[in-house]
Amino acid sequence: MSLKAQDPHIEKEPAGIGRRRFLNAAAALGIGSVTLAGCKEESKPAQGGAAAGGAAPAHGAEAPHQGGAGPVHIPPGQLDTHYGLWSSGHTGDARVIGIPSGRELLRMPCFVPDPLTGWGITNESKAVMGTKPDGTLEYVVGDTHHMQASYKDGIYDGKYCWINDKINARIARFRLDYFVCDKITKLPNVQGFHGIFPDKRDPVDPAINYTTRVFCGQEFRIPMPNHGKDLEDTEKYGALFTCVDALTMDVKWQARINGNCDLVATSFDGKLAATNQYNLEEADFYAEMMSRERDACLFFHVARIEQAIKDGKFTHIGDSKVPVVDCRVENNKDPKSAMVVRVSVPKNPHGVNASPDGKYFVCSGKLSPTCTVIDLQKVLDWFDGKLDDPDKSIVAEPEVGLGPLHTTFDGRGNAYTTLFLDSQVCKWNIEKAIKKYAGDKTVNPIVHKIDVMYQPGHINATCAETKAADGIWMAVGNKFSKDRFLPVGPLHPENDQLLDITGEQMILAHDNAVRPEPHDFVILPRDWLHPKQVYNLDDFPLATKSQADTGVTRNGKKVTVRITSVAPAYEPTEFNVKVGDEVTLILTNLDKVEDLTHGFAIPEYNIQFIVNPQETKSVTFKIDKPGVFWYYCTNFCHALHLEMRGRMIVEP
C-alpha cells in the first residue's frame, strides 16, 4: 500500500504553505512513500544464504562469510575482538555489544529504572538520577540517541562515554572501568536534546590533549524560558548549543542560535564544534521545514565563545545560572570576532561526521542525494578573515543516492554513507569526490554500493572517528527489519547489520536482532578498555566490613539495618521492625570472587537490587504492612542459592 494515499498533506494544501513550498513537501514525501511501501520485499541477501523465510539451513551447508575481517561467529571460549558501545533509543539505557558476534554483553542503566540492578530503587542510583521532593524519581522515561567516548591524542582513552536523553534533555556519563553511570546532568532551557560530541583536545592549551567538554545540540525550538509566555509565537522561540564540562558534568555555557541543532561533531584540533541544521525555516510543521533549498552546518569557534564568557559578554535565561552567549548569525557577521559561521548544506541535512584524518566534516543530505564535504582549514580561514564566503569551505558534494543520513570512514580515504530511502550503503572516495567537485569529470568517487535491510540510519566502522580508524568492521543500524527475523508479533526488532569493509567491496556478514531502537554507536578494539571486575570495599562509605558489624540500629522510628552477604547466607538471617518505621537497609557483598553477585528482594515492598563482589548499596523505605517477608537472593550464587534467605518480621 502507498503511504501517500494515507497522507492528508498530499491531497490538500496545508494552511500557510505556498504553492512552491507545498511541491517541495510533496516531492520529498513521494520519495519516502514509494520506498517504504515497496520496502524491497523482493530483496535477496547480498551473499551466503537463501532468501528470508526459506528452508532451514541444511546440515553442514553454512557458507561462512569470506572477508578479510575474519569470521563473525566466535567459537565457544573465544572472545570478541571489539567492544561496541551502543545507544538504546526509547528503551532508555545503553548497551555494550561484542563485535563481531553481536552478543549483548551488558545493558547499562542511566535515565530509566532498571529492575535487575536496582537502578532507580537504591539510594545511590536515585541520587544520580534525581528525585522529586517526595523521594520518587523525577523521570522514568528516556530516549538515548548518541553514544560517544572520551578521547586522548585523537583516540578513545577508555575513561568515559556519554549519552543523551532526547525526551528530558539530560546527559549521562558512564565510567568505563566499572561500566556504570556515575553522573546525569539536566540541560537548562533545552527541549529535544539530540546530538552530542566530546571535544578531542583543548582549543587553546596544547597540554590538554584529551576530552574536557561535551557539546550538546537542541533540536526543538521553545520559548526562552519555557514558563508559559510566548506560547504560540514561534518567532520568539529559540534553541541552544550547550557545552558540558566533561569532568565535573556541570554545564559550562550555552550559545543561542538561529534554526536548530541536529547532530554534533568536533574537530581533532579542538578548535571547532559544529551542528547540522535542518530547520533554518524555524517552522513548527514538517512540510514548512522543507521550504528552503539549503539549510546549514553551523560551526562554533570554541575559543572565542569562551573568551566572550571571560569578558562577561553573556546573559542568563530564566532561573538558570549558566552563561548564554549570542551565536545568532546576524550578530556574528564579522569574521574576525564571529563565534559562529554557517556553511550551507542542501535541504534538511542529517548527520555531520569528522573524517579520521582531521581534515573534513561530512554532512549528509537527507532530502538531497548528496553529501557535503567541508574543509575545516577553510572554515578556520574564514574565522581568520582569509576566506570571503564560508560556502567556499565546501570542497565536494558527491551524489551518493537517495536519503543520505550518516557517514563513517575506513582510515584509507573512503567514506561510507547510509542511504535511508535506497536502503543501501554507498562507499565513496573523499579525494576523488573533491577532484570531481573541482571540475575533473573523469573521476567517479562512488566505489561500491550494497543493499542493507532496511532503511539504514547510523553507521560506524571500527575506530572510525579516531585517528586510528582501521577499516575492519562496519555496523549499520537499520530502522526496519521486516522479514529478516522470525516474526514476533507487531513489534519488530531492529536489524544491526555487520559488514566486512577490509576489501574494495563491502561484504554483508551478519544480521543482528536488537531491541528498538539503537541509534548511534562506537566500536573500539578490546585492548583499549581496562575494566575492573571486583569493587573496592573502601570505595563505599556505607560498607559493613565485617559480619560482626551487622544488625539493627533504631533511632525513634528511623531504623538502620546492616546486612552482609557471603554465599549462601545473609547475616543476619532475620530482623524485626514495626509498622510505621522508616528503614534504611544497607547491604554489603563481602564475597570477593569475580562474578559472585548476590541479589536482594523483599516481597510486597518493591525492593530488588543486586550487589556485585565487594559492593555496598542501600535502600530506604516505609514499613506499612505487618507480617513475615522473606528477603531472598535473586542472583543465583551457590548450590544452596535457593536456601539463601531471611525474614523481615514486621510487627503490627
Residues of this chain, 570-609, that bind its own copies according to CB under 8 A: 571, 573-574, 579, 590-597, 599, 601-604, 606-608
Q: Classify residue 234 by burial, with Cβ atoms within 10 Å: 0-12, 13-18, 19+.
A: middle
Q: Which of residues 236-265 bind its own copies (CB under 8 A)?
A: 237, 262
CB nearer its own copies, residue 180 or residue 585: 180
Among 509, 522, 543, 623, binds its own copies (CB under 8 A): 509
Question: Near its own copies by CB under 8 A, which window of 123-131, 265-273, 410-418, 485-493?
Answer: 485-493
- What is the DSSP secondary-structure string of 57-92? PPTT-------TT--SS--TT---SEEEEEE-BTT-
Residue 1 interacting with its own copies (CB under 8 A)? yes
In sequence order, the β-bridge partners of residue 602 are 607
Give the residue ranges of DSSP H helices in 80-157: 123-129
Among 113, 188, 217, 323, binds its own copies (CB under 8 A): 113
**Binding letters toward its own copies, positions 158-197, x by CB under 8 A:** --------xxxx-------xxxx----------xx-----
Q: Which of residues 57-76 bind its own copies (CB under 8 A)?
A: 57-66, 68-76
Q: How far is the CB of 186 from its own copies (least distance, A)?
A: 10
**Binding letters toward its own copies, positions 425-464, x by CB under 8 A:** ----------------------------x-x-x-------
CB nearer its own copies, residue 77 or residue 206: 77
CB nearer its own copies, residue 214 or residue 419: 419
The C-alpha atoms of residue 303 and residue 310 are separated, in whole angstroms, by 11
Q: Which of residues 303-342 bind its own copies (CB under 8 A)?
A: none
CB nearer its own copies, residue 72 or residue 341: 72
Of 271, 301, 266, the residue nearest 203 (C-alpha): 271
Secondary structure of residue 236 in the 3-state scheme: helix
CB nearer its own copies, residue 418 or residue 429: 418
| Centroid of chain to Cα 71 | 28
Helices and strands in the chain, H and E counts: 7, 40
Pairing of strands 324-326, 251-257: parallel
Cβ contacts of 494 within 8 Å, gap of 6 or more: 477, 478, 479, 481, 513, 514, 515, 516, 517, 518
Containing 54, the helix (H) or strand (E) segment is none
Pairing of strands 582-589, 616-622: antiparallel
Residue 133 interacting with its own copies (CB under 8 A)? no
CB nearer its own copies, residue 387 or residue 559: 559
CB nearer its own copies, residue 316 or residue 515: 515
Question: Near its own copies by CB under 8 A, which window of 122-130, 301-309, 616-624, 634-642?
Answer: 634-642
CB of 531 closer than 8 Å to CB of 174? no
Question: Near its own copies by CB under 8 A, which window of 354-362, 374-382, 461-469, 483-491?
Answer: 483-491
Question: Near its own copies by CB under 8 A, which window of 296-304, 322-330, 370-378, 480-488?
Answer: 480-488
The C-alpha atoms of residue 287 and residue 299 are separated, in whole angstroms, by 26
**Binding letters toward its own copies, positions 351-380, x by CB under 8 A:** ---------------xx-------------
Q: How far is the CB of 267 from its own copies (least distance, A)?
A: 25
Q: How many residues bind its own copies (CB under 8 A)?
A: 194
Q: How far is the CB of 65 from its own copies (least distance, A)?
A: 7
Q: Which of residues 207-236 bind its own copies (CB under 8 A)?
A: 219-220, 222-223, 226-228, 231-232
CB nearer its own copies, residue 302 or residue 543: 543
CB nearer its own copies, residue 208 or residue 602: 602
Q: Which of residues 516-555 bind its own copies (CB under 8 A)?
A: 516-517, 526, 531-535, 547
CB nearer its own copies, residue 553 or residue 573: 573
Q: Where are the beta strands (DSSP E) in 166-310?
A: 170-175, 180-186, 191-198, 213-220, 222-223, 237-245, 251-257, 264-266, 272-277, 294-301
Of 564, 542, 561, the residue nearest 551 (C-alpha): 561
Among 152, 467, 515, 554, binds its own copies (CB under 8 A): 515
Burial 359-379 (b: 16+ CB within 10 A, else e): bbbbbbbbbbbbbbbbbbebb
User: In Å, what is the CA distance from 245 to each residue of 212, 269, 477, 502?
Assistant: 6, 18, 29, 37
Q: Which of residues 39-58 bind its own copies (CB under 8 A)?
A: 39, 44-54, 56-58
CB of 505 closer than 8 Å to CB of 448? yes
**Which cell numbers in the block locate residue 60?**
553442514
The C-alpha atoms of residue 207 and residue 203 are separated, in whole angstroms, by 10
Q: How far is the CB of 167 from its own copies (least distance, A)?
A: 5
Among 261, 305, 421, 523, binds its own copies (CB under 8 A): 421
Residue 640 interacting with its own copies (CB under 8 A)? yes
CB nearer its own copies, residue 208 or residue 534: 534
CA dihedral sign, ordered 110, 114, 117, 119? positive
The C-alpha atoms of residue 461 and residue 409 are separated, in whole angstroms, by 6
